[in-house]
A and B are shown apart, each in its own frame.
Chain A
Protein backbone atom coordinates (compact mmCIF):
# COMPACT_ATOMS: atom_id res chain seq x y z
CA UNK A 1 0.00 0.00 0.00
CA UNK A 2 2.86 2.31 0.68
CA UNK A 3 6.60 2.26 0.15
CA UNK A 4 7.47 3.20 3.65
CA UNK A 5 5.84 0.53 5.75
CA UNK A 6 7.33 1.86 8.96
CA UNK A 7 6.00 5.32 8.34
CA UNK A 8 2.63 4.00 7.32
CA UNK A 9 2.30 1.90 10.41
CA UNK A 10 3.20 4.78 12.62
CA UNK A 11 0.68 7.09 10.99
CA UNK A 12 -1.93 4.39 11.05
CA UNK A 13 -1.30 3.70 14.70
CA UNK A 14 -1.55 7.37 15.55
CA UNK A 15 -4.76 7.79 13.62
CA UNK A 16 -6.17 4.72 15.33
CA UNK A 17 -5.18 5.99 18.73
CA UNK A 18 -6.59 9.46 18.12
CA UNK A 19 -9.88 8.38 16.54
CA UNK A 20 -10.34 5.42 18.87
CA UNK A 21 -9.49 7.56 21.87
CA UNK A 22 -11.90 10.37 21.09
CA UNK A 23 -14.64 7.96 19.99
CA UNK A 24 -14.22 5.93 23.14
CA UNK A 25 -14.28 9.04 25.29
CA UNK A 26 -17.37 10.46 23.58
CA UNK A 27 -19.36 7.25 23.49
CA UNK A 28 -18.00 6.23 26.88
CA UNK A 29 -19.12 9.47 28.51
CA UNK A 30 -22.68 9.10 27.25
CA UNK A 31 -22.78 5.48 28.43
CA UNK A 32 -21.39 6.47 31.82
CA UNK A 33 -23.81 9.39 31.99
CA UNK A 34 -26.68 6.88 31.82
CA UNK A 35 -25.10 4.53 34.36
CA UNK A 36 -26.88 4.71 37.73
CA UNK A 37 -23.78 3.94 39.82
CA UNK A 38 -21.70 6.55 38.02
CA UNK A 39 -24.47 9.14 38.34
CA UNK A 40 -24.73 8.60 42.07
CA UNK A 41 -20.94 8.88 42.36
CA UNK A 42 -21.09 12.26 40.59
CA UNK A 43 -23.90 13.21 42.95
CA UNK A 44 -21.50 12.60 45.84
CA UNK A 45 -19.66 15.71 44.69
CA UNK A 46 -22.79 17.81 45.33
CA UNK A 47 -22.62 16.88 49.03
CA UNK A 48 -18.87 17.50 49.04
CA UNK A 49 -19.38 20.93 47.46
CA UNK A 50 -22.04 21.90 49.98
CA UNK A 51 -19.90 20.66 52.89
CA UNK A 52 -16.93 22.63 51.58
CA UNK A 53 -18.98 25.80 51.18
CA UNK A 54 -20.42 25.45 54.67
CA UNK A 55 -16.91 24.90 56.06
CA UNK A 56 -15.30 27.81 54.22
CA UNK A 57 -18.13 30.27 54.76
CA UNK A 58 -19.69 31.18 58.06
CA UNK A 59 -23.40 30.26 58.28
CA UNK A 60 -24.16 33.95 58.23
CA UNK A 61 -21.52 34.99 55.67
CA UNK A 62 -23.21 37.51 53.40
CA UNK A 63 -23.49 37.38 49.64
CA UNK A 64 -21.86 40.47 48.10
CA UNK A 65 -24.08 43.53 48.08
CA UNK A 66 -23.80 46.16 45.38
CA UNK A 67 -24.32 49.91 44.94
CA UNK A 68 -27.39 51.52 43.35
CA UNK A 69 -25.22 52.32 40.31
CA UNK A 70 -24.55 48.59 39.77
CA UNK A 71 -28.23 47.69 39.24
CA UNK A 72 -28.98 46.06 35.85
CA UNK A 73 -30.78 48.49 33.51
CA UNK A 74 -33.18 45.67 32.58
CA UNK A 75 -33.52 42.69 34.91
CA UNK A 76 -34.08 39.64 32.72
CA UNK A 77 -37.39 37.91 33.43
CA UNK A 78 -37.29 34.16 33.70
CA UNK A 79 -39.57 31.22 34.47
CA UNK A 80 -43.26 32.01 34.88
CA UNK A 81 -44.33 35.60 34.27
CA UNK A 82 -47.46 35.38 36.40
CA UNK A 83 -49.15 33.13 38.92
CA UNK A 84 -51.76 30.88 37.32
CA UNK A 85 -53.88 29.33 40.09
CA UNK A 86 -57.53 30.52 40.27
CA UNK A 87 -56.85 31.61 43.81
CA UNK A 88 -53.92 33.74 42.67
CA UNK A 89 -55.79 35.27 39.74
CA UNK A 90 -58.63 36.30 42.08
CA UNK A 91 -56.15 37.97 44.44
CA UNK A 92 -54.48 39.66 41.48
CA UNK A 93 -57.87 41.22 40.51
CA UNK A 94 -58.13 42.56 44.05
CA UNK A 95 -54.55 43.87 44.21
CA UNK A 96 -53.73 41.21 46.85
CA UNK A 97 -55.82 43.08 49.47
CA UNK A 98 -57.21 39.83 50.91
CA UNK A 99 -54.17 37.71 50.11
CA UNK A 100 -52.65 35.89 53.07
CA UNK A 101 -49.36 34.04 53.25
CA UNK A 102 -49.91 30.70 54.98
CA UNK A 103 -47.10 29.54 57.30
CA UNK A 104 -47.61 26.01 58.63
CA UNK A 105 -46.19 22.50 58.86
CA UNK A 106 -43.77 21.83 61.70
CA UNK A 107 -44.56 25.02 63.58
CA UNK A 108 -46.29 25.47 66.95
CA UNK A 109 -48.15 28.55 65.80
CA UNK A 110 -49.43 28.25 62.21
CA UNK A 111 -50.36 31.65 60.83
CA UNK A 112 -51.81 33.59 57.93
CA UNK A 113 -50.27 36.97 57.31
CA UNK A 114 -51.36 39.65 54.86
CA UNK A 115 -49.22 41.89 52.68
CA UNK A 116 -49.75 45.00 54.84
CA UNK A 117 -48.75 43.09 57.99
CA UNK A 118 -45.66 41.69 56.22
CA UNK A 119 -44.65 45.19 55.16
CA UNK A 120 -45.17 46.45 58.72
CA UNK A 121 -42.59 43.99 60.08
CA UNK A 122 -38.89 44.87 60.25
CA UNK A 123 -37.57 44.58 56.70
CA UNK A 124 -34.24 44.20 54.98
CA UNK A 125 -33.17 45.99 51.80
CA UNK A 126 -30.32 44.51 49.77
CA UNK A 127 -28.82 45.04 46.34
CA UNK A 128 -27.74 41.60 45.23
CA UNK A 129 -26.79 39.62 42.15
CA UNK A 130 -29.16 37.00 40.76
CA UNK A 131 -27.25 34.16 39.09
CA UNK A 132 -29.12 31.86 36.76
CA UNK A 133 -28.03 28.23 36.47
CA UNK A 134 -27.59 28.96 32.74
CA UNK A 135 -24.80 31.41 33.47
CA UNK A 136 -26.24 34.92 33.21
CA UNK A 137 -26.49 37.42 36.09
CA UNK A 138 -28.63 40.46 36.88
CA UNK A 139 -28.48 42.88 39.81
CA UNK A 140 -31.48 44.41 41.59
CA UNK A 141 -32.47 45.90 44.89
CA UNK A 142 -34.82 43.74 46.94
CA UNK A 143 -36.84 44.69 50.00
CA UNK A 144 -38.62 42.15 52.12
CA UNK A 145 -39.29 40.46 55.42
CA UNK A 146 -36.53 38.24 56.80
CA UNK A 147 -37.82 34.66 56.68
CA UNK A 148 -36.16 34.12 60.07
CA UNK A 149 -38.57 36.55 61.76
CA UNK A 150 -41.61 34.79 60.30
CA UNK A 151 -40.36 31.35 61.32
CA UNK A 152 -39.66 32.60 64.83
CA UNK A 153 -43.13 34.10 65.07
CA UNK A 154 -44.64 30.83 63.87
CA UNK A 155 -42.48 29.01 66.47
CA UNK A 156 -40.64 26.64 64.19
CA UNK A 157 -40.28 23.15 65.62
CA UNK A 158 -36.74 21.93 66.31
CA UNK A 159 -37.70 18.87 64.21
CA UNK A 160 -37.99 21.00 61.08
CA UNK A 161 -35.14 20.50 58.61
CA UNK A 162 -36.47 22.18 55.48
CA UNK A 163 -38.71 25.06 54.56
CA UNK A 164 -40.90 24.42 51.49
CA UNK A 165 -42.28 27.27 49.36
CA UNK A 166 -45.53 26.49 47.55
CA UNK A 167 -46.07 28.79 44.57
CA UNK A 168 -49.06 29.98 42.56
CA UNK A 169 -47.47 29.36 39.17
CA UNK A 170 -47.53 26.27 37.04
CA UNK A 171 -44.41 25.77 34.99
CA UNK A 172 -45.34 23.50 32.15
CA UNK A 173 -48.07 21.33 33.64
CA UNK A 174 -46.70 21.17 37.18
CA UNK A 175 -46.95 23.56 40.10
CA UNK A 176 -43.69 25.33 40.96
CA UNK A 177 -42.27 24.78 44.40
CA UNK A 178 -38.88 25.03 46.04
CA UNK A 179 -37.26 24.36 49.39
CA UNK A 180 -34.16 25.30 51.36
CA UNK A 181 -32.67 23.92 54.56
CA UNK A 182 -33.05 25.59 57.94
CA UNK A 183 -29.51 27.04 57.86
CA UNK A 184 -30.28 29.01 54.70
CA UNK A 185 -33.78 29.85 55.98
CA UNK A 186 -32.26 31.66 58.98
CA UNK A 187 -29.58 33.47 56.93
CA UNK A 188 -29.86 37.26 57.36
CA UNK A 189 -30.22 37.85 53.59
CA UNK A 190 -32.97 35.24 53.16
CA UNK A 191 -36.10 37.35 52.75
CA UNK A 192 -39.59 37.13 51.34
CA UNK A 193 -39.31 40.13 49.04
CA UNK A 194 -42.28 42.38 48.29
CA UNK A 195 -40.29 45.31 46.90
CA UNK A 196 -37.90 45.59 43.97
CA UNK A 197 -35.76 48.58 42.95
CA UNK A 198 -37.76 50.85 45.28
CA UNK A 199 -41.18 49.83 43.95
CA UNK A 200 -43.82 47.24 44.74
CA UNK A 201 -42.61 43.87 43.42
CA UNK A 202 -43.94 43.63 39.83
CA UNK A 203 -46.05 40.63 38.76
CA UNK A 204 -43.44 39.28 36.35
CA UNK A 205 -40.83 39.18 39.12
CA UNK A 206 -43.07 37.23 41.53
CA UNK A 207 -45.69 39.48 43.23
CA UNK A 208 -46.95 39.54 45.88
CA UNK A 209 -43.87 37.91 47.47
CA UNK A 210 -40.91 35.93 46.22
CA UNK A 211 -38.04 34.22 47.98
CA UNK A 212 -34.51 35.65 47.91
CA UNK A 213 -31.89 33.14 49.07
CA UNK A 214 -28.80 35.00 47.95
CA UNK A 215 -26.06 32.39 48.14
CA UNK A 216 -27.81 30.04 45.73
CA UNK A 217 -28.80 30.03 42.06
CA UNK A 218 -31.94 31.55 40.55
CA UNK A 219 -34.15 28.47 40.47
CA UNK A 220 -34.19 28.41 44.29
CA UNK A 221 -35.71 31.93 44.38
CA UNK A 222 -39.37 30.86 44.21
CA UNK A 223 -41.81 33.48 42.88
CA UNK A 224 -45.55 33.85 43.70
CA UNK A 225 -45.11 32.24 47.14
CA UNK A 226 -48.50 31.38 48.66
CA UNK A 227 -47.56 29.04 51.47
CA UNK A 228 -44.45 28.37 53.56
CA UNK A 229 -44.37 24.88 55.06
CA UNK A 230 -41.81 23.55 57.54
CA UNK A 231 -41.00 19.87 57.21
CA UNK A 232 -38.48 17.17 58.07
CA UNK A 233 -39.08 15.18 54.90
CA UNK A 234 -38.96 16.45 51.32
CA UNK A 235 -39.89 13.13 49.75
CA UNK A 236 -43.61 13.70 50.29
CA UNK A 237 -43.75 16.77 48.05
CA UNK A 238 -44.33 16.39 44.30
CA UNK A 239 -41.38 14.52 42.73
CA UNK A 240 -39.69 14.23 46.11
CA UNK A 241 -36.43 15.99 45.29
CA UNK A 242 -37.28 19.26 47.02
CA UNK A 243 -38.02 21.53 44.07
CA UNK A 244 -39.50 21.88 40.61
CA UNK A 245 -36.20 21.91 38.71
CA UNK A 246 -34.75 19.22 40.95
CA UNK A 247 -37.74 16.98 40.06
CA UNK A 248 -38.11 17.88 36.39
CA UNK A 249 -34.61 18.77 35.21
CA UNK A 250 -32.53 16.72 37.67
CA UNK A 251 -30.74 19.87 38.88
CA UNK A 252 -28.86 19.79 42.19
CA UNK A 253 -30.78 20.38 45.41
CA UNK A 254 -27.90 22.46 46.68
CA UNK A 255 -27.53 25.34 44.22
CA UNK A 256 -24.46 27.11 45.65
CA UNK A 257 -22.53 26.64 42.37
Chain B
Protein backbone atom coordinates (compact mmCIF):
# COMPACT_ATOMS: atom_id res chain seq x y z
CA UNK B 1 0.00 0.00 0.00
CA UNK B 2 1.48 3.34 -0.95
CA UNK B 3 1.06 6.68 0.74
CA UNK B 4 -1.74 7.92 -1.50
CA UNK B 5 -3.81 4.84 -0.90
CA UNK B 6 -3.22 5.12 2.81
CA UNK B 7 -4.35 8.73 2.85
CA UNK B 8 -7.52 8.15 0.86
CA UNK B 9 -8.58 4.96 2.57
CA UNK B 10 -7.60 5.39 6.13
CA UNK B 11 -7.43 9.07 6.77
CA UNK B 12 -10.68 9.12 8.68
CA UNK B 13 -9.89 5.84 10.41
CA UNK B 14 -7.34 6.74 13.05
CA UNK B 15 -7.38 3.72 15.29
CA UNK B 16 -8.63 0.21 14.71
CA UNK B 17 -11.30 -1.15 17.02
CA UNK B 18 -8.81 -3.66 18.50
CA UNK B 19 -6.39 -0.84 19.31
CA UNK B 20 -9.11 1.28 20.91
CA UNK B 21 -10.51 -1.55 23.06
CA UNK B 22 -7.04 -2.56 24.23
CA UNK B 23 -6.02 1.04 24.89
CA UNK B 24 -8.90 1.81 27.26
CA UNK B 25 -8.87 -1.62 28.85
CA UNK B 26 -5.16 -1.14 29.54
CA UNK B 27 -5.64 2.38 30.85
CA UNK B 28 -7.83 0.83 33.55
CA UNK B 29 -6.05 -2.50 34.09
CA UNK B 30 -2.51 -1.08 34.07
CA UNK B 31 -3.59 1.48 36.68
CA UNK B 32 -5.04 -1.27 38.88
CA UNK B 33 -1.89 -3.39 38.40
CA UNK B 34 0.34 -0.45 39.31
CA UNK B 35 -1.61 0.62 42.39
CA UNK B 36 -2.09 -2.90 43.78
CA UNK B 37 1.57 -3.58 42.94
CA UNK B 38 2.71 -0.58 44.99
CA UNK B 39 0.76 -1.98 47.97
CA UNK B 40 2.49 -5.35 47.53
CA UNK B 41 5.84 -3.50 47.43
CA UNK B 42 4.91 -1.77 50.70
CA UNK B 43 5.00 -5.18 52.44
CA UNK B 44 8.76 -5.32 51.85
CA UNK B 45 10.06 -2.02 50.45
CA UNK B 46 13.54 -3.25 49.53
CA UNK B 47 14.96 -4.69 46.31
CA UNK B 48 17.87 -7.06 45.72
CA UNK B 49 19.80 -8.75 42.92
CA UNK B 50 20.18 -12.51 42.68
CA UNK B 51 18.24 -15.46 44.06
CA UNK B 52 17.69 -14.35 47.65
CA UNK B 53 17.38 -11.15 49.66
CA UNK B 54 15.82 -10.16 52.98
CA UNK B 55 16.35 -7.62 55.77
CA UNK B 56 19.55 -9.55 56.51
CA UNK B 57 21.02 -8.77 53.07
CA UNK B 58 22.17 -5.72 51.13
CA UNK B 59 19.31 -4.05 49.24
CA UNK B 60 20.14 -1.89 46.22
CA UNK B 61 16.90 0.03 46.72
CA UNK B 62 15.12 0.88 49.92
CA UNK B 63 12.10 3.10 50.57
CA UNK B 64 11.81 3.51 54.32
CA UNK B 65 11.65 5.92 57.24
CA UNK B 66 13.74 7.07 60.19
CA UNK B 67 10.53 7.48 62.27
CA UNK B 68 10.58 11.23 61.59
CA UNK B 69 11.54 11.38 57.91
CA UNK B 70 10.91 9.31 54.82
CA UNK B 71 13.73 8.44 52.45
CA UNK B 72 14.62 6.59 49.27
CA UNK B 73 18.05 4.98 49.11
CA UNK B 74 19.47 3.83 45.79
CA UNK B 75 22.82 2.16 46.32
CA UNK B 76 24.70 4.46 48.68
CA UNK B 77 22.75 7.60 47.82
CA UNK B 78 19.78 8.64 49.94
CA UNK B 79 17.13 11.24 49.18
CA UNK B 80 14.70 12.61 51.72
CA UNK B 81 11.15 12.04 50.52
CA UNK B 82 9.11 12.89 53.64
CA UNK B 83 5.46 13.48 52.81
CA UNK B 84 5.38 11.17 49.81
CA UNK B 85 7.65 8.13 50.04
CA UNK B 86 8.58 6.31 53.25
CA UNK B 87 6.61 8.55 55.58
CA UNK B 88 3.49 10.50 54.75
CA UNK B 89 0.20 11.76 56.16
CA UNK B 90 -3.08 10.04 55.34
CA UNK B 91 -6.39 11.78 54.62
CA UNK B 92 -6.96 12.24 58.37
CA UNK B 93 -3.44 13.63 58.89
CA UNK B 94 -2.21 10.50 60.65
CA UNK B 95 1.44 9.71 60.06
CA UNK B 96 1.80 6.57 57.96
CA UNK B 97 5.18 4.88 57.80
CA UNK B 98 4.75 3.12 54.46
CA UNK B 99 6.78 3.25 51.26
CA UNK B 100 3.98 4.38 48.95
CA UNK B 101 1.19 6.58 50.38
CA UNK B 102 -2.44 5.47 50.49
CA UNK B 103 -3.51 7.63 47.55
CA UNK B 104 -1.18 5.60 45.31
CA UNK B 105 -2.22 2.13 46.43
CA UNK B 106 -5.11 -0.33 46.16
CA UNK B 107 -6.55 -0.63 48.71
CA UNK B 108 -5.81 2.69 50.42
CA UNK B 109 -5.13 1.20 53.87
CA UNK B 110 -2.38 -1.41 54.28
CA UNK B 111 -3.73 -4.79 53.18
CA UNK B 112 -1.26 -7.11 51.47
CA UNK B 113 -3.76 -9.99 51.08
CA UNK B 114 -6.32 -7.80 49.28
CA UNK B 115 -3.69 -6.16 47.05
CA UNK B 116 -2.41 -9.60 46.06
CA UNK B 117 -5.91 -10.71 45.15
CA UNK B 118 -6.46 -7.64 42.94
CA UNK B 119 -3.03 -8.01 41.34
CA UNK B 120 -3.26 -11.73 40.57
CA UNK B 121 -6.82 -11.48 39.20
CA UNK B 122 -6.23 -8.46 36.93
CA UNK B 123 -2.89 -9.94 35.86
CA UNK B 124 -4.94 -12.33 33.73
CA UNK B 125 -6.72 -9.47 31.94
CA UNK B 126 -3.39 -7.67 31.53
CA UNK B 127 -1.47 -10.67 30.14
CA UNK B 128 -4.27 -12.07 27.96
CA UNK B 129 -5.12 -8.58 26.65
CA UNK B 130 -1.50 -8.03 25.68
CA UNK B 131 -1.27 -11.42 23.97
CA UNK B 132 -4.54 -10.87 22.09
CA UNK B 133 -3.47 -7.38 20.99
CA UNK B 134 -0.12 -8.69 19.74
CA UNK B 135 -1.78 -11.46 17.74
CA UNK B 136 -4.53 -9.25 16.28
CA UNK B 137 -1.98 -6.54 15.39
CA UNK B 138 0.15 -9.11 13.66
CA UNK B 139 -2.72 -10.31 11.48
CA UNK B 140 -4.55 -7.04 10.75
CA UNK B 141 -1.41 -5.28 9.56
CA UNK B 142 -1.10 -2.81 12.47
CA UNK B 143 2.46 -3.92 13.09
CA UNK B 144 3.46 -4.19 9.42
CA UNK B 145 1.80 -0.96 8.26
CA UNK B 146 2.02 1.33 11.26
CA UNK B 147 4.77 0.22 13.63
CA UNK B 148 7.30 -1.43 11.32
CA UNK B 149 10.42 0.75 11.21
CA UNK B 150 11.27 1.18 7.51
CA UNK B 151 14.74 1.09 6.04
CA UNK B 152 14.77 4.85 5.42
CA UNK B 153 14.01 5.46 9.08
CA UNK B 154 17.02 3.47 10.28
CA UNK B 155 19.26 6.53 9.91
CA UNK B 156 20.66 8.78 12.60
CA UNK B 157 19.79 11.79 10.45
CA UNK B 158 16.14 10.74 10.30
CA UNK B 159 16.01 10.11 14.02
CA UNK B 160 17.78 13.39 14.78
CA UNK B 161 15.38 15.33 12.58
CA UNK B 162 12.45 13.69 14.40
CA UNK B 163 13.97 14.58 17.77
CA UNK B 164 14.34 18.20 16.62
CA UNK B 165 10.72 18.21 15.46
CA UNK B 166 9.58 16.94 18.85
CA UNK B 167 11.65 19.60 20.61
CA UNK B 168 9.87 22.23 18.53
CA UNK B 169 6.55 20.58 19.40
CA UNK B 170 5.99 19.60 15.78
CA UNK B 171 4.56 16.15 15.82
CA UNK B 172 4.11 15.51 12.13
CA UNK B 173 5.46 12.62 10.22
CA UNK B 174 7.35 13.35 7.03
CA UNK B 175 9.09 10.03 6.60
CA UNK B 176 6.44 7.58 5.47
CA UNK B 177 2.85 6.59 4.98
CA UNK B 178 2.52 5.35 8.54
CA UNK B 179 0.70 7.67 10.92
CA UNK B 180 3.56 7.30 13.39
CA UNK B 181 6.92 9.05 13.37
CA UNK B 182 10.16 7.30 14.32
CA UNK B 183 10.17 8.19 18.00
CA UNK B 184 6.58 7.00 18.32
CA UNK B 185 7.39 3.74 16.56
CA UNK B 186 10.35 3.02 18.83
CA UNK B 187 8.31 3.90 21.94
CA UNK B 188 5.32 1.77 21.01
CA UNK B 189 7.43 -1.18 19.87
CA UNK B 190 9.50 -0.92 23.04
CA UNK B 191 6.44 -0.85 25.28
CA UNK B 192 4.36 -3.49 23.48
CA UNK B 193 7.10 -5.98 22.70
CA UNK B 194 9.66 -5.44 25.46
CA UNK B 195 8.33 -3.61 28.50
CA UNK B 196 4.88 -5.19 28.87
CA UNK B 197 6.14 -8.76 28.25
CA UNK B 198 8.96 -8.05 30.74
CA UNK B 199 6.38 -7.08 33.37
CA UNK B 200 4.33 -10.23 32.71
CA UNK B 201 7.31 -12.60 32.67
CA UNK B 202 9.12 -11.16 35.70
CA UNK B 203 5.78 -11.32 37.53
CA UNK B 204 5.41 -15.01 36.70
CA UNK B 205 9.04 -15.60 37.77
CA UNK B 206 8.22 -14.53 41.33
CA UNK B 207 5.77 -17.44 41.74
CA UNK B 208 7.43 -20.40 43.51
CA UNK B 209 4.97 -22.79 41.81
CA UNK B 210 5.83 -21.38 38.37
CA UNK B 211 9.52 -21.79 39.21
CA UNK B 212 8.86 -25.52 39.34
CA UNK B 213 6.91 -25.41 36.06
CA UNK B 214 9.20 -23.07 34.10
CA UNK B 215 12.60 -23.01 35.86
CA UNK B 216 14.19 -21.35 32.80
CA UNK B 217 12.53 -18.08 33.81
CA UNK B 218 14.85 -17.87 36.82
CA UNK B 219 17.85 -18.31 34.53
CA UNK B 220 16.50 -15.70 32.13
CA UNK B 221 16.17 -13.00 34.80
CA UNK B 222 19.01 -14.06 37.12
CA UNK B 223 16.99 -15.28 40.11
CA UNK B 224 13.76 -14.47 41.91
CA UNK B 225 14.95 -11.29 43.62
CA UNK B 226 16.42 -9.99 40.35
CA UNK B 227 13.05 -10.67 38.72
CA UNK B 228 11.38 -8.70 41.52
CA UNK B 229 13.79 -5.79 40.94
CA UNK B 230 13.20 -5.88 37.17
CA UNK B 231 9.43 -6.02 37.75
CA UNK B 232 9.70 -2.82 39.80
CA UNK B 233 12.01 -1.10 37.29
CA UNK B 234 9.58 -2.10 34.53
CA UNK B 235 6.72 -0.52 36.46
CA UNK B 236 8.72 2.72 36.82
CA UNK B 237 9.44 2.73 33.06
CA UNK B 238 5.73 2.15 32.47
CA UNK B 239 4.89 5.23 34.58
CA UNK B 240 7.45 7.28 32.62
CA UNK B 241 5.93 6.09 29.34
CA UNK B 242 2.41 7.01 30.47
CA UNK B 243 3.56 10.45 31.65
CA UNK B 244 5.32 11.11 28.33
CA UNK B 245 2.29 9.77 26.45
CA UNK B 246 -0.10 12.06 28.33
CA UNK B 247 2.15 15.09 27.79
CA UNK B 248 2.22 14.34 24.07
CA UNK B 249 -1.57 14.00 24.01
CA UNK B 250 -1.89 17.40 25.68
CA UNK B 251 0.66 19.08 23.38
CA UNK B 252 -0.66 17.61 20.16
CA UNK B 253 -4.35 18.33 20.67
CA UNK B 254 -6.03 16.43 23.49
CA UNK B 255 -9.60 16.66 22.21
CA UNK B 256 -8.72 15.26 18.78
CA UNK B 257 -6.47 12.66 20.34
CA UNK B 258 -8.94 11.41 22.91
CA UNK B 259 -11.85 11.50 20.46
CA UNK B 260 -9.91 9.49 17.88
CA UNK B 261 -9.06 6.88 20.50
CA UNK B 262 -12.77 6.61 21.36
CA UNK B 263 -14.48 6.82 17.97
CA UNK B 264 -11.60 5.72 15.82
CA UNK B 265 -11.85 8.86 13.70
CA UNK B 266 -9.63 11.91 13.97
CA UNK B 267 -12.12 14.46 12.65
CA UNK B 268 -15.72 14.46 11.55
CA UNK B 269 -15.66 12.92 8.09
CA UNK B 270 -16.70 16.15 6.35
CA UNK B 271 -13.57 18.01 7.47
CA UNK B 272 -10.23 17.38 5.82
CA UNK B 273 -7.62 15.99 8.18
CA UNK B 274 -4.21 17.46 8.82
CA UNK B 275 -2.58 14.12 9.34
CA UNK B 276 0.10 12.94 11.67
CA UNK B 277 -0.90 14.86 14.74
CA UNK B 278 -1.43 12.24 17.31
CA UNK B 279 0.51 10.76 20.16
Known pairs A45-B120, A129-B208; A137 contacts B53 (CB<8 A): yes
Check if B114 sits within 8 Å of A250, measured CB to CB.
yes
Q: Are B117 and A43 in contact (CB under 8 A)?
A: yes
B113 touching A256 by the CB < 8 A rule? no
Encode B195-220 as 1/0 by CB contact (under 8 A) with A.
00000000000111111111100100
Contact indicator B210/A250 (Cβ below 8 Å): no
| Cβ of A253 to closest chain B Cβ, rounded Å | 11
Do the beta carbons of A257 and B212 come within 8 Å of each other? no
Pair B213/A56 contact, Cβ less than 8 Å? yes
Residue of B nearest to A78 (CB): B54
Partner of A56, one of B56, B124, B214: B214
Task: Tell me, yes or no, whether A53 is within 8 Å of chain B by CB.
Answer: yes
Which B105-123 residues have a C-beta within 8 angstroms of A? 106-108, 111-114, 116-118, 120-121
B219's nearest neighbour on chain A, judged by CB, is A64
B93 at the interface (CB under 8 A from A): no
Taking a contact as CB atoms under 8 Å apart, the answer to whether B118 and A42 are in contact is yes
Q: Are the C-beta atoms of B112 and A57 separated by less than 8 Å?
A: no
If A30-B108, A53-B209, A217-B208 touch, whether A73 touches B56 (CB-CB below 8 Å) is: yes
CB–CB B213/A57 < 8 A: yes
Q: Is the CB of A131 within 8 A of B121?
A: no
Docked-complex contact B211 and A63, CB < 8 angstroms: yes
Which residues of chain B are near A217, meaning CB under 8 Å? 208
B207/A256 in contact, CB under 8 A: yes
Does residue A133 face the partner (Cβ distance < 8 Å to B)?
Answer: yes
Asked if A29 and B43 sit within 8 Å, CB to CB, the answer is: no
How many A-B residue pairs have C-beta atoms within 8 angstroms? Tell me.
141
Question: Inside 8 A of A64's CB, which chain B residues have their CB?
Answer: 211-212, 215, 218
User: Known interface pairs A129-B52, A137-B54, A137-B225. Does A256 touch B40 (Cβ–Cβ under 8 Å)?
Assistant: no
CB-CB under 8 A for A216 and B43, given A29-B32, A138-B52 = no
A139 to B224, CA, bound (A): 11
In the assembled complex, the CB of B92 is this many whole angstroms from the nearest CB of chain A, namely 14
Q: Which of A46, A48, A56, A134 has the most CB of B within 10 A?
A: A134
Residues of A within 8 A of B56 (CB): 72-76, 138
Name B52's contact: one of A62, A72, A215 (CB within 8 Å): A72
Please encode chain A, from 48 to 77, with 1 for each CB lying within 8 Å of some chain B CB and 0 for all others.
110001001100011110100010111110
Over the window 130-157 of chain A, the binary record of Cβ atoms lying under 8 Å from chain B Cβ atoms (1 yes, 0 no) is 0111111111000000000000000000
Further pairs besides A45-B124, A249-B113, A257-B206: 10, Cβ < 8 Å? A14-B254, A43-B117, A48-B124, A57-B209, A74-B56, A76-B56, A132-B54, A134-B44, A136-B53, A256-B208
- Complex A-B: 18 CB contacts under 8 Å: A14-B254, A29-B32, A29-B108, A33-B106, A41-B121, A42-B118, A42-B121, A45-B121, A46-B120, A53-B213, A57-B209, A57-B210, A72-B54, A76-B56, A136-B225, A215-B209, A252-B117, A257-B210
What are the 7 tightest A-B residue pairs by CB atom distance, in nearest-first order?
A: A256-B209, A57-B213, A45-B121, A135-B44, A136-B54, A74-B56, A76-B54
